[in-house]
Amino acid sequence: MWHNILLVILLLVLFCVRDVRKPAFFPPGPGWLPLVGCGYHVYKLVKSHSFYHLLWADLVRRFGPVVGLKLGRDRVVIVSGAVAIREFYSKEELNGRPDGFFFRVRSFNKRLGIVFTDGEDWDVQRRFSIKTLKALGMGKAGMAFNVEKEAEELIHHLRKLARKRNHIAMHNAFDISVLNVIWTLIAGKRFHLDDKRLEWITSTIHKSFRVIDMSGGLLNQFPCIRHAFPTASGYAPLVNLLSPLWDFLKDSIQVLNKKPKVIDTEDCLISSYLRELQKDSLHSSFSNKQLLCLCLDLFQAGSETTSNTLGFGIAYMLHHPSVVEKIHQELDKVVGRYRLPLLDDRRHLPYTEAVVCEIQRIANVAPLAIAHRALQPVQLGTYVIPKNAIAMVSLYSLHMDRSYWGDPECFRPERFLNETGDKLIQHENFLPFGSGKRRCLGESLAKSNLFLFFAAFMHAFIVEPAIEGKLPELEGIDGITLSPKPYHVKLRERLI
Ligand code: HEM
């Protein structure tokens, strides 16, 4: 009996010693405790900082640009600053995405879609999506017409609302219009801006971004806890949010599947995919479930980031009336008061474009990009990142780097303009879409959307806080992406 107890104690001690031992050349960071790693330390820091990217910034100040942690069983590395991030994005071995129970919940316990996959399947699906979206007009003139039409509809809709109501919710005012642009590419149709189901879907997308923890959280470490604590473990809230999105996408795919298939006509991504599924020589990664997850990825990644940036953008404008005045001067001079701006006007509107860049820089909607995973042990600076470690890049650290920007907390669009103010400057520390092979797939679409929705809105309206003197908070709500806190505005029309 005593022998057994002693053996158990010995095994436990051995386990603990092994569990807290850091791998050779692992980046510096807080000490590890058995089982939980730095979990408790991070938990305390989350409480005091409220935002994950601020918590990581605190650790970077203490340990340097590459910080190593252990969260439960996972080794996690946080990379900050221009030098380390540039090296990070150049390493092929760091192009994986985290795996595990939590990440597979979205995709029926498999690795499907683009965002949380890697290897050959990811490559094939990403290539197919880019090729098809380009054929459908993404990044080309054909797309401009869609975005312009959507912007016009939105202005029309807001005008009607402004005539009826004094207070208009601004934090999510762009949601359906932004989704419409991406949905037209995915499913070949748009929604009415009053559509209640869509309003609900977009708010579900927002919520789903708040319950996802990029490191996978406790549920990824110990999936069985979902049986004992379905709500506290985060499992039930996640599935409750995903279910309506799955249903919505399944319905949409079914409708298109019933339509006669027109050979070689690029009408939307779903139809192109369904046609691909009928081919004999098909890569093994193509399947109906894969299509659903691909749509879910594009649907979520394509709408949340853009509408949050626009929501923050108008909040910043309320704080900076002198910037608004300059935008109005530029728009009046180039576009005139009789029409809305078009995408073609963009090259003549450098100040407005610089404002959009400055909004992206300071609002940091994707402060930690999307988590990567080391596919092999890989050297980063003088450290070695072990295989399967989760690696996160702090884009926030680039965008708020004092040594680079001088006054990063100041809203100053001029930093994106040359001396004469007529050309945009490319900054190496400005990477809102990430970099390397996992760089954002929708960058060109996002840029067109951001510019046109912002410019059209600013041209059409004078915006004031709903309650005089009460400016919206700029801090945002934490999640995979930062989203603006709810705020309301009064709108007055500008156009003749
Ligand atoms: C303001 C708008 C947007 C921002 C700031 C943004 C930002 C990002 C960032 C930072 C990443 C991760 C890069 C990395 O892993 O290091 C990413 C990935 C991705 N984005 Fe975007 N994005 C935006 C709009 C869009 C749009 C409109 C689409 C869809 C058409 C889209 C689809 C994706 C996809 C599918 C990925 C995953 C790519 C992969 O893992 O291979 N994004 N985005």
Asked if residue 116 lies in contact with residue 106, where contact means CB atoms within 8 angstroms, the answer is yes
User: In order of start, what are the domains of the chain with their CATH numbers?
Assistant: 73-493 (1.10.630.10)
Pocket test for ligand 1, best of 397, 433, 438 (most atoms within 8 A of CB): 433
Which one has a higher pLDDT value, 227 or 64? 64
**For residue 115, which of 378, 387, 305 has the smallest C-alpha distance?**
305
Long-range contacts of range 15-18, CB-CB < 8 Å, 24 or more positions apart?
A: none
* Amino acid making up residue 323: V
pLDDT tens for each residue of 340-381: 999 999 999 999 999 999 999 999 999 999 999 999 999 999
**Stretch 102-106: mean pLDDT, rounded?**
84
**129/148 Cα distance (integer angstroms):** 23
**168/59 Cα distance (integer angstroms):** 40
Report CA-CA distances (Å) from 181 to 188, 459, 473: 10, 20, 28
Q: What is the 3 state secondary structure string of 100-157?
A: CHHHHHCCCCCCCCCCCCCHHHHHHHHHHHHHHHHHCCCCCHHHHHHHHHHHHHHHHH
pLDDT tens for each residue of 287-317: 999 999 999 999 888 888 999 999 999 999 9
Residue 220's pLDDT is what?
Answer: 76
Task: Provide residues with CB under 6 Å of ligand 1.
Answer: 114-115, 126, 182, 297-298, 301-302, 305-306, 309, 365-366, 369-370, 393, 432-434, 438-442, 445-446, 450
pLDDT at 216 over 80: no
**319 band by pLDDT with thresholds 50, 70 and 90:** very high
Q: How far is the CA of 130 from the centre of ligand 1 (A)?
A: 12
Asked if residue 354 lies in contact with residue 304, where contact means CB atoms within 8 angstroms, the answer is no
Q: How far is the CA of 116 from the centre of ligand 1 (A)?
A: 12
Pocket test for ligand 1, best of 303, 305, 447 (most atoms within 8 A of CB): 305
**26 band by pLDDT with thresholds 50, 70 and 90:** very high
Task: Give the atom of ligand 1 at the shortest distance from the alpha carbon of 303.
Answer: 27
Residue 211's pLDDT is what?
Answer: 64
**Which residue has its alpha carbon closest to ligand 1 atom 17?**
440
